[in-house]
A and B are shown apart, each in its own frame.
Chain A
Amino acid sequence: MDSTTAMYVAQGIHGLAYGMILFLVASGLTMIFGMMGILNLAHAAFFMLSAYFSYQALAMTGNYWIALLAAPLATAVVGVLVERFLLRKVHAFGHVGELLLTVGVSLVILDAVKAFWGTESLYVDLPESLKGLIHVGGLEYPVYRLFVIGLALVVLFIMAFLLYRTRLGMVVRAAVSDADMVNALGINVPLVFMLVFGIGTWMAGVAGVAIAPILTVFPGLADQMGMDAFLVVVTGGFGSLSGAFIISLVFGELSSYGVQFISALAPVLMFVLMAIILVIKPTGLFGERE
């Protein structure tokens, strides 16, 4: 095939892979917001922490697959502990307290990461099976990007199953619209909050592991992803998973093709899209609240 088509396809796949990673982060953020009413400003820090965990696990075991499994789980454990022993304690004092607490947690994680691993970029080496390109129908696809897309789809499938086919999912969907009512019906809402927080940080953790081989591991990972995920949640509508999904993919492609064609404008494209959507629909694409 000619080189222009190949470039389009490659750019498209890069965009899709980034969009999927973005969705893994943004979906946790929007779910936690929908249920608990708080913007978890430490969410991106968990994402970064997981990237470091994957680097460390790989350094210790030499096995990428162990790193892939262990890092998000370790991140989720940290998330659950933060929810159970910090966030829950300040819940009674309102959202400002919770917001400040998550800022504090993100600063602590950032400093801890710098203390343990320094500020240099760390490289996560992929196993041979995930390197290189595969050729299908005359086109070339980067294997790792395809793997990331597949991984995100698996996580997406697990989430959809949990959310729409289990009682826990039903409770979560109900609590997104009215947590107090769920509580008054006899359901242990604090426990559900903890689980959702854990699942949300686990997904951010999967995203962190996925991004590590692409961007390398460094403390600034959190800022970049935090901003993008925040934009996705605002634009897609606070608490809306489908909104987060659509906007993540659009943002992924926008940044990928944007860099290619109008690189000077690429960083602001997402803001432009957000502004347009919010002018038309102030609650975001599928959002119900201001």
Chain B
Amino acid sequence: MLLEVKDLNTYYGSSHALQGMNLQVDEGELVALLGRNGMGKSTTLKSIMGLVKPRSGSVKFRGVDITGLAPFKVARAGIGYVPEERRIFPTLTVFDNLMMGVKRGKMVTGDPDAWTLEKIYSHFPVLEKRRRQKGHTLSGGEQQMLAIARTLMGNPELLLVDEPTEGLAPLMVKEVRDMLADVHKAGVSTLFVEHNLKVAMSLAQRLYLMGKAHLAFTGTVEELDAQPEIREKYLEV
């Protein structure tokens, strides 16, 4: 098991945002985390990353307990995080944004599967074209590409992506979707949060569906397809 989240409880002040959350991601999987607004999807990813500290429960990565570690330690353990708002560094160039993702300032060398600048540029040609531009001058879609590429520069074994297609034009949605499929095919296990059901169903192998602060359903895309009442209860408005 690559990632194992068990009985996680997270609070914001007195509000109980995760109430015994569970999920798992296996090596090589592409898994979606779905649910309506405010259910706790982002909080789940942030709790894994150590950006918010869970009060109880455990997060294990490759069997090692990483619950509540500082975010930089979680990242160094091998988990990459692409946040909801992309959070590109606005005053840094595209190139420097990419460099920020490099762990301990050292590029990985000698590993043919590693994400290097060349490999990033060949997967994300637009970033090479814009490498001297400041982060804040990129379009939403380009910022999303950069956010994913920046995290890949750290060669994570597991990628956590929060709402990659949010606020993008339809054409861009497809491009980002294909990019995630591409990155997954390149060998990166991925857990992503997605509101766009079509994107999620076409990309994921397995799904987790959240109700308020807890897990409501888990299964394959086909299993969810066969249960319209669950989709209605937890997804459709």
Bound: A178/B150 CA distance, A: 15
Partner of A181, one of B83, B103, B104, B105: B83
Convert A30-55 into 0s and 1s, putting 1 for each residue whose CB lies closer than 8 angstroms to a CB of B. Answer: 00000000000000000000000000
Bound: A188/B91 CA distance, A: 20
Report whether B70 and A173 are in contact in the complex, using a CB–CB cutoff of 8 Å: no
Report whether A177 and B90 are in contact in the complex, using a CB–CB cutoff of 8 Å: yes
Report whether A170 and B96 are in contact in the complex, using a CB–CB cutoff of 8 Å: yes
User: Which residues from B are CB-within-8-Å of A180?
Assistant: 51, 71
B115 located at the interface, meaning its Cβ lies under 8 Å from any Cβ of chain A in the complex: no
Partner of A178, one of B75, B89, B99: B89
Report whether A185 and B154 are in contact in the complex, using a CB–CB cutoff of 8 Å: yes
Partner of B72, one of A167, A176, A183: A183
A167-B105, A173-B92, A180-B71 known; A187 vs B87 contact (CB < 8 Å): no
Report whether A174 and B83 are in contact in the complex, using a CB–CB cutoff of 8 Å: no
Interface size for A (C-beta < 8 A) is: 19
Interface size for B (C-beta < 8 A) is: 26
Report whether B151 and A174 are in contact in the complex, using a CB–CB cutoff of 8 Å: no
A124 located at the interface, meaning its Cβ lies under 8 Å from any Cβ of chain B in the complex: no
Bound: A181/B83 CA distance, A: 8
A170-B96, A174-B100 known; A186 vs B75 contact (CB < 8 Å): yes
Report whether B150 and A185 are in contact in the complex, using a CB–CB cutoff of 8 Å: yes
A190 located at the interface, meaning its Cβ lies under 8 Å from any Cβ of chain B in the complex: yes
A174-B89, A177-B89, A190-B70 known; A184 vs B81 contact (CB < 8 Å): yes
User: Which residues from B are CB-within-8-Å of A170?
Assistant: 92, 96, 99-100
Number of A-B contacts (CB under 8 A): 61
B59 located at the interface, meaning its Cβ lies under 8 Å from any Cβ of chain A in the complex: no
For residues 191 through 226 of chain B, which have their beta carbon under 8 Å from a beta carbon of chain A?
none
- Most chain-A CB neighbours within 10 Å: which of B72, B87, B99? B72
B35 located at the interface, meaning its Cβ lies under 8 Å from any Cβ of chain A in the complex: no
B49 located at the interface, meaning its Cβ lies under 8 Å from any Cβ of chain A in the complex: yes
Find the B residue at minimum CB distance from A170: B96
Report which B residues bind A (CB closer than 8 A).
49, 51, 70-72, 74-76, 81, 83, 87, 89-92, 96-97, 99-101, 103-105, 150-151, 154
Report which A residues bind B (CB closer than 8 A).
167, 170-171, 173-174, 176-178, 180-190
21 A-B pairs in the complex with CB atoms less than 8 angstroms apart: A167-B105, A170-B92, A170-B99, A174-B92, A174-B96, A174-B97, A177-B90, A177-B91, A181-B87, A183-B71, A184-B49, A184-B74, A185-B101, A185-B151, A186-B72, A186-B75, A186-B101, A186-B103, A186-B104, A186-B154, A187-B72
